[in-house]
Structure 1
Amino acid sequence: MRIRYMLLHAYGMGGTIRTVVSQANAMAALGHDVEIVSVIRRRDRPQFRLDRSVALSTLVDQREGVLTDSLGRKVWRRVRGKIVPYGEFAAAYFTERVEKAAIDYVSSLDEGILVTTRPALNLISARRAPSGVVRVAQEHMNLNAYPETLRREIVRHYGAFDAVSVLTGTDRRDYQRLLPDTPVVRIPNAVDRAGRVPSRQEHKVVVAAGRLVAQKGFDLLIPAFAAAARRHPGWRLRIFGTGPKKHELTALADRQGLGDRIALMGRSPRLHEELARASVYALSSRFEGLPMVMIEAMAHALPVAAFDCPTGPGDVLTDGIDGLLVPPEDVDALAEALGRLMAERETRVRLGSAAAVTAAEYDPEIVMPQWERLFAELLTGKPAGDGFRSAS
């Protein structure tokens, strides 16, 4: 099979990039002809390991800066028609030059499978890819997180896809209600458990990880941890990640008066080691797609305290079995859940052991054959099979 994955920035560090690279590597290892197309490029080297047989190409090289567009906005709208709506989270990346390059590339294809990986690229594929190309839209964020402007475009154009893939059962149901005549399949992202060292519950450390942005809710986690930590001396919170909220979160942590017990650690190339040395994982997001780092933490036998935000935590965790779920954005409830885990080592061990079992459901050996089967069916002209469409 000829499979092309289209990413906004294949050289970046995001969770979508990592999971798409892993999928491309797996398809290449199965003997398929695989290429990753990076719409823009701002680094010299990819941050995630690529299989040698996976081709990598770039449409717009921005390593020396973002160039001024040659087409004025009014001309662009009149002559080519701007596709990416303002409500798309990455809309600012799609200058006229970038959007034109993506449209021209997609329009030039004449065969194979094209997998696009965010709404902007999905809409370009839906509107410009020729009929001879099998089009698959991957959604890595939950539908209800998108503004109405973007949801309108999804309703208008996603019917052109041979399949729309989502990460959770909740999201599959939401998309199916919106797109009743379009095959919507649920295939989760894979988490490789190879080499994962389980936590020994020896260190009083709570770990969280993600971009330092409002979505991740670290402004809610810090006061929740502080409230619990005042009752449980010796516990520390380590937040891994970078982003525009760093200074704001640092100031918030300083105001808690807990010294160095709350630390913003920046990006770590050894996050797996940090997870193995921790005893609790905290997820404080306001919304998610499928929280991959949480599942990675579960693979280390870490118990999770999480907001039951849309979507993801509640699609993965069973409250009281392999983690603790609390109402979204309820700081007091999150503090109580963290405090319980800090106080009860037996509970941490019990929930963590069950979490490791749940994480096994996301092994590549289970997930990747689903992708290969889907692609094979679509290439033969079959609609996505019942096993995909009914998956919860």
Structure 2
Amino acid sequence: MSIEVTKSINGQKDLVDEVIASFPEKGRIIDIGTGSGLAARSFFNAGWEVVASGMDMDAYLDADNAGFPPGIELLPDLDICDMHPLADASLDCVWCAHVLEHVSDTGRALSEIRRVLKPDGRLFIAVPPFKHNVVGGHVNSGWNLGTLMYVLADAGFDLSDGRFIHHGYNVFGIARRGKGPLPTGALRRANGDIETLKNDGRFPAGFAAEQGFNGQLKQVNWMWNTTPEQVPVARKMLMSPPPIQKMKIGFFIPFITKGRGGTENVGQMMANSMAKRGHDVTVFTFEDEDVPSQWPLDETIDLVRLSEAGNERTDDQMLLAIASRTLDLLVGLHMNRTFKRYVRCAHRAGVPLVLSEHIDPRFPRWIGTNTMHERQVAFYGASLIHLLTEGFRSTLPGFMRERIRVIPNTVKAPEQAACPGDATKQKKVLLTVARLVPRKNVHLTIEAFAKSLPEAEEWVLRIVGDGPERQNLEEQVSDLKIADSVEFVGETSDPYACYRDADAFVLSSFFEGFPLSTLEAMAHGLPLIGFANCSGVNEQITEDNGILCDASCPSESLAAAIQRVMADAKLREEMGQASLKRFESHYSEEQIFAQWEEMFAEAVERGLPNSGSNLETKLRVAVSELTK
């Protein structure tokens, strides 16, 4: 018997459908706080054994003029903090949607849920997002994803393979029953508890939980399993934030007329995406000649060239260029001493500022372009601080972390993916795309490939990119006598053609920000190889879509990974498919552009911190405090 599913909270039907699609094995499930019964009816229609409970169920059912079919077991007025009618470990799953906000003793409610779940049972839980309004019956004003994960981990649930999303009016999560709360005394109910729970494996795998992390997340490890035919058009509307008012945004992209580096690439993506979303965009660069941008800019974007010299007169000229455009926001990219010029200019003009760092924070210090103290001083004057990975958050002092927003990079999705599992190809390609400079360690890729060749003569190493190391690398290839198996492509205007023809991708850097080349390889559905100590790479690569190598024995571990991928077409196919899914679920343009736009709108709303005429004095005080 199939019955009509009634209306409910925005986005909730999507989540019910997703659970049904994700767990075809079904089982015995309770819908706690069933309300009008959408979840209970949906699970029943899908073949689950359903128990429905809730307070004042008759009122809901009368209002909807619908009853439950005989196959659904009813437990009216069941108290979530005392579910004694249900035996221990009697349920495969619990659906609990918009109930916890009504419960004073959240810990006791979650303990009861764990009690009635089987050892490997799952909790599907939805709570409302935080709001300032005080509502009768709601003793909790709401959650964000980070808070929900923390509360569940603290209550003893296993989130290691959990999935979480903010969808519609639902902060939603999937977690296993878990092994219970930590022993008494293990948590201090103070700083350090989050790290303790993380070290015990209580948070989702790969999630960088730490004291003060930003819990206002859109999703963690989420992937929709419902097919496009099952997903209503309304989903995209529900996933979208409220309309953002049009902004006038100025982007500082220092070298966009001089080269096609990664920061310049991200800068043009930021600028173009905001222009396409209806915002008024200006790009400022430092260029004394009238030369065009090396990256294509939307025709509505105004490119303004500022003097390359950095002095009081040119700073005044910069201020005039900014002030005359009555901007709502400035965005500064490229982490070096130029950041402090952006800060001074923004504060003099009274314009909010986002500083966006696109590299491993240690790198500028290593090459002498910026010290860590100078970096902190610049960030001191920013409205918001944009970092690429959660791991970089700890490089700034605690009082700054509230202003940090972590958003990874994105790349354009290709029109055609690669076919890494095609075992019939006569020539198979191991690809690397990198600027040929020492920090990219391309010599390690060549060395490891040479060790792999005797077992894989049908493979070639294709190196795309140019730079000062090219001659040394060509000599290394000659010395190793593998010139017939290594191709130096140089720079190309169409690197996507190289990805399409590849069978595996390797990046041998020890440090990056959040590299675009690995993202491009991921978007093409290629298996990835990189080093576990490389920031960004160690977030992009999982055990499903590639191999992370040990940097303590770089040549040997890299060679072993290359040999493993070369030898197994099935493995390449599976890893490639996982790469494509990971790109679509974590790093697609649609997701990242929306996060950038929300960050920019938030910065406009927040305004400038530490504003006032004595900014230079404040910056000097900040230096003094930071260097103590």
In structure 2, the residue matched to 1:246 is: 470
Contact 1:10 1:36 in 2 (8 A): no
- 1:375 matches 2:584: no
In structure 1, the residue matched to 2:346 is: 129
Q: 1:265 to 1:101 in 2, by over 3 A?
A: farther
Contact 1:239 1:266 in 2 (8 A): yes
Question: Whole-Å Cα distance in 1 between the matches of residues 318 and 559 of structure 2?
Answer: 48
Contact 2:271 2:283 in 1 (8 A): yes
Question: Whole-Å Cα distance in 2 between the matches of residues 295 and 181 of structure 1?
Answer: 27
- 1:183 matches 2:380: no
In structure 2, the residue matched to 1:63 is: none
C-alpha distance after superposition, 1:278-307 (max 9, x if no partner): 101001012100011111111111101111
- 1:331 matches 2:331: no
Please give the residue correspondences for 1:253-264 in structure 2 after superposition, counting only pairs within 5 Å. Answer: 253-264=477-488
Question: Whole-Å Cα distance in 2 between the matches of residues 256 and 38 of structure 1?
Answer: 44
In structure 2, the residue matched to 1:196 is: 416
C-alpha distance after superposition, 1:325-374 (max 9, x if no partner): 00226111001000101101111111111011111121111011111112
In structure 2, the residue matched to 1:83 is: none
Greater Cα shift, 274-283 or 124-133: 124-133
Question: Whole-Å Cα distance in 2 between the matches of residues 239 and 100 of structure 1?
Answer: 44
Q: CA deviation at 1:10?
A: 1.0
Amino acid at match of 2:569: R
C-alpha distance after superposition, 1:220-263 (max 9, x if no partner): 11101111122211211111111111111111111110132112
- 1:104 matches 2:316: yes
Q: 1:274 to 1:101 in 2, by over 3 A?
A: farther
C-alpha distance after superposition, 1:91-149 (max 9, x if no partner): xxx7xx25667633443334421111112332211234325111110100011223275
In structure 2, the residue matched to 1:20 is: 267
- With normalisation by structure 2, the TM-score equals 0.53
Greater Cα shift, 181-190 or 288-297: 181-190
Q: CA deviation at 1:383?
A: 9.4
Contact 1:155 1:179 in 2 (8 A): no
Larger radius of gyration: 2
Q: 1:167 to 1:42 in 2, by over 3 A?
A: farther
Q: 1:382 to 1:299 in 2, by over 3 A?
A: same
Amino acid at match of 1:15: G
Tell me: higher relative CO, structure 1 or 2? Use CA pairs within 8 A at least 6 residues apart.
1
Match of 1:46 among 293, 300, 304: 293
In the alignment of these two chains, the number of paired residues is: 347
Question: Whole-Å Cα distance in 2 between the matches of residues 245 and 42 of structure 1?
Answer: 29
Q: 1:302 to 1:134 in 2, by over 3 A?
A: same
Identical-residue share of aligned pairs (%): 27
Q: CA deviation at 1:54?
A: 1.1
Q: 1:122 to 1:359 in 2, by over 3 A?
A: same
In structure 1, the residue matched to 2:306 is: 59
Q: 1:100 to 1:345 in 2, by over 3 A?
A: farther
Q: 1:264 to 1:104 in 2, by over 3 A?
A: farther
User: What SS class does the counterpart of residue 180 from structure 1 fall into?
Assistant: helix
Question: Whole-Å Cα distance in 2 between the matches of residues 147 and 315 of structure 1?
Answer: 23
Amino acid at match of 2:365: P
In structure 2, the residue matched to 1:114 is: 330
Match of 1:152 among 373, 391, 405: 373
Match of 1:5 among 241, 247, 251: 251
C-alpha distance after superposition, 1:17-64 (max 9, x if no partner): 11110111110011111011111267843332211111112124xxxx
In structure 1, the residue matched to 2:510 is: 286
Greater Cα shift, 196-205 or 118-127: 196-205
Match of 1:365 among 584, 590, 599: 590
Please give the residue correspondences for 1:87-102 in structure 2 after superposition, counting only pairs within 5 Å. Answer: 97-98=309-310
- 1:212 matches 2:436: yes
Question: Whole-Å Cα distance in 2 between the matches of residues 165 and 334 of structure 1?
Answer: 32
- 1:170 matches 2:391: yes
Q: CA deviation at 1:382?
A: 6.9
Contact 1:155 1:178 in 2 (8 A): no
Q: 1:55 to 1:172 in 2, by over 3 A?
A: same
User: What SS class does the counterpart of residue 371 from structure 2 fall into?
Assistant: helix
Q: CA deviation at 1:190?
A: 1.7
Question: Whole-Å Cα distance in 2 between the matches of residues 276 and 101 of structure 1?
Answer: 50
Q: 1:56 to 1:335 in 2, by over 3 A?
A: same
Amino acid at match of 1:161: A
Greater Cα shift, 13-22 or 36-45: 36-45
User: What SS class does the counterpart of residue 347 from structure 2 fall into?
Assistant: coil
In structure 2, the residue matched to 1:321 is: 544
Q: Which runs of 4+ in 1 moved over 6 A?
A: none
Question: Whole-Å Cα distance in 2 between the matches of residues 105 and 117 of structure 1?
Answer: 20
User: Is there any run of 5+ residues in structure 1 with no aligned partner, and where?
Assistant: 61-93, 385-392
